[in-house]
Amino acid sequence: MIDAAQHERFVTEADELIFLIEEVPRRLRRMFTVSMAAFDMTTPQWRALSYIMRTPGLNQTMLARQLDLERASVGHIVDQLEAAGLAERRAAGGDRRVWTLHPLPKAIEILPSVRKVADRLYLDLLRNVPLEDINQMRSTLSRMVANISGLDPD
């Protein structure tokens, strides 16, 4: 059995900070899934569709990089978006090995409603957080990403 003093040696303040940082996206994904149920859309689908809407014609490799997912996982997400009538693959310049991704009219049609749901969720998330704190958090997280990017073997 680990007593409180031993626990303190194993769980540091840095651990608690990282656990807290990890808790936000975990809970946000869960809330997003509930919020997007009306659109039958998951968080990964929303993220992928957002990039496709922002950059029509990007290919799956580029999308995989944006989402930090394997190409096979992105392929599955794109399959789901195609099945839902939200996006489509098109052969790129006659090369049947490369597919570009494009939003379909249904995605453009539901975008305002999806945007409202996402914005409401983000408002709830940031409620009672002053703009100064949000700006500081953005700056701090950007520096943390830069720090860890320097350690990333990719």
Write down the domain spans for the chain. 13-127
Q: What is the pLDDT of residue 43?
A: 85
Q: What is the pLDDT of residue 140?
A: 95
List Cβ neighbours of 66 (8 Å cut-off, separation of 6 or more): 51, 58
Q: What is the pLDDT of residue 80?
A: 96
Residue 121 contacts residue 32 (beta carbons within 8 Å) = yes
Q: What is the pLDDT of residue 1?
A: 61
The one-character DSSP state at 59 is B
Structure tokens belonging to residue 61: 């490799």
3-state secondary structure of 116: helix
- Whole-angstrom Cα distance, residue 100 to residue 90? 5
Q: What is the pLDDT of residue 36?
A: 87
**Hey, what amino acid is at 122?**
Y
- Topology, domain 13-127: Arc Repressor Mutant, subunit A (1.10.10)
Q: What is the pLDDT of residue 66?
A: 92
pLDDT tens digits for the chain (154 residues)? 666 666 667 888 899 999 999 999 999 989 988 988 888 888 889 999 999 999 999 999 999 999 989 989 999 999 999 999 999 999 877 777 788 999 999 999 998 899 899 899 999 999 999 999 999 999 999 999 899 888 866 6
- Whole-angstrom Cα distance, residue 76 to residue 89? 12
- pTM assigned to the model: 0.75
Backbone CA torsion sign across 60, 65, 70, 74 = negative
Residue 60 contacts residue 79 (beta carbons within 8 Å) = no
3-state secondary structure of 36: coil
Q: What is the pLDDT of residue 8?
A: 63
Q: What is the pLDDT of residue 3?
A: 67
- Whole-angstrom Cα distance, residue 68 to residue 91? 23
Q: CA angle, corner 152, sides to 148 and 154, nearest 5? A: 150
